[in-house]
Structure 1
Amino acid sequence: MSQEFLSLKTEINIGKIGEEIAYKYLQAKGYRIVCTNFKAPIGRNRRGAEITGEIDIVAYDENTLCFIEVKTRSSDSFASPLSAVDLRKQRQIIRTARVYRRIFYLQNPPFRYDAIGVILQADKPQIKLFKNFFTEEKFKQKRWIFPETYF
């Protein structure tokens, strides 16, 4: 087996372990888990290929519908787990959440976008929940086009 395949397999396992830890953490905090790994088509790229979005955990925190992204790292020496939730990922989560709400006729309930960072350590994993990690309003204010000075 190639080193790249082994590395990818390890990353997938770390991600799944982190999602399981986050799932149990949210249940202990009183969240009602609706589904995990929700996938839906959210559009097409420039070549016409279908783009599929995924939300790691969909849950209710009391009456608020939460779309939760889980990011896991084996250590935080390189970067925080949540540094991977960049603008592109936020856009994908927002589009997938819109599809979810449309499918299940949930246009008006309160909702938010949360993120959980999991750092796997030898003795005990560190878990941090960030409620309202980003919002659609904040997201709309960000610039997606680079200034002309880049070109």
Structure 2
Amino acid sequence: MHTKTAVGQYGEDLAARYLTSNGFAVLERNWRCELGEIDIVAREGDTLVICEVKTRRGLNYGTPLEAITYKKLTTLRRLAGRWLQTHQVRAASIRIDVVAIVFDNTTSPQVDHLRGAA
């Protein structure tokens, strides 16, 4: 797995399986509009979860969570609003989560789920 796209796709697939195995219903993946992209839209009970996935093949460039900036969180909030405008989904609350994945060729992937990042 060498390309950035392949690493990102692997991480998103792993994150979707992780969320599903933990009781989330994945509603949509890789939703795009002119504001940007939401990696995963899911539901946990009555909560709509906008999920950003960050994947790294090691820690040479820092942890995946360190890549989540204030600007990115602001964009995710805007994207959540736009997603709700374009879908007929009602939720008691909305939350932004981050799933951080680190892996290399010698160990199993480590998955960290940060609930309520913003």
Do both share a fold (TM > 0.5)? yes
The reply on whether 1:100 has 2:83 as its aligned counterpart is: yes
Aligned pair partner of 2:12 in 19, 27, 31: 19
The reply on whether 1:72 has 2:55 as its aligned counterpart is: yes
Aligned pair partner of 2:110 in 104, 112, 126: 126
Distance 2:4 2:86 in 1: 31
Distance 1:91 1:39 in 2: 16
**Structure having greater relative contact order (Cα 8 Å, sep ≥ 6):** 2
- Secondary structure, in 3 states, of the residue corresponding to 2:62? coil
Q: Which runs of 4+ in 1 moved over 3 A?
A: 105-108
Aligned pair partner of 1:40 in 17, 33, 36: 33
CA-CA distance at 1:113 after TM superposition: 0.3
Distance 2:18 2:89 in 1: 25
In structure 2, relative to structure 1, the CA distance for the partners of 1:24 and 1:108 (3 Å cut) is closer
Task: Please say which of residues 89-98 and 123-132 is displaced more in the overlay.
Answer: 89-98
Q: Deviations over 1:37-66 (max 9, x none)?
A: 011123xxxxxxxxxx10100000111000
Distance 1:99 1:88 in 2: 17
Q: Deviations over 1:70-100 (max 9, x none)?
A: 0000012430101111122112111111100
Q: What is the TM-score when the length of structure 1 is the normalising length?
A: 0.72
> More helix by proportion, 1 or 2?
1
CA-CA distance at 1:107 after TM superposition: 6.6
Which residue number corresponds to residue 93 of structure 2?
110
Identify unmatched segments of 5+ residues in structure 2.
Answer: none
Aligned pair partner of 2:40 in 40, 52, 57: 57
Q: CA RMSD in A?
A: 1.5
Task: Please say which of residues 71-80 and 30-39 is displaced more in the overlay.
Answer: 71-80
Identify unmatched segments of 5+ residues in structure 1.
Answer: 1-8, 43-52, 135-151
Identity across the alignment (%): 28
- Secondary structure, in 3 states, of the residue corresponding to 2:74? helix
Number of residue pairs aligned between Structure 1 and Structure 2:
116
